[in-house]
Amino acid sequence: MKITKNFLLKFYYIVFVGGSLLVGFLLLYFDKLHYHFAFQYIPGFFAICGFLFCSILILGAKLLGIWLVRPVDYYEKRKRK
């Protein structure tokens, strides 16, 4: 079998992702979590928190895009002056 660049990229990708998952699960299994607040012990707290803040960022970007939008002929008007 001839080893091509494409094959090597796929191989390294699989090794990297698999290794990252393995290290993550091993750390989760062996590391004892020490939270500072009681609400952090709620199952799925960090997933819910991440989803909410990501949604807020997306909505904020959309509102900022609406606020900053320029008319289609904005630059053409400026050239005429």
Say yes or no: 46 and 73 in one domain: yes
Say yes or no: 49 and 67 in one domain: yes
pLDDT in tens, 28-67: 888 787 889 998 888 899 999 999 999 999 999 999 999 9
Containing structural domain, residue 60? 37-81
Q: How far apart are CA 52 and CA 40, in angstroms?
A: 15
- DSSP, collapsed to helix, strand or coil, labels residue 27 as helix
pLDDT exceeds cutoff 80 at 17 = yes
Q: What angle do CA 24, 26, 31 make, to 5 degrees?
A: 95
Q: How far apart are CA 55 and CA 61, in angstroms?
A: 10
Q: Tokens for 22?
A: 């393995």
Say yes or no: 28 and 53 in one domain: no
Does the global pTM surpass 0.75?
A: no
Q: Which are the contacts of 39, defined by CB distance < 8 A and separation ≥ 6? A: 45
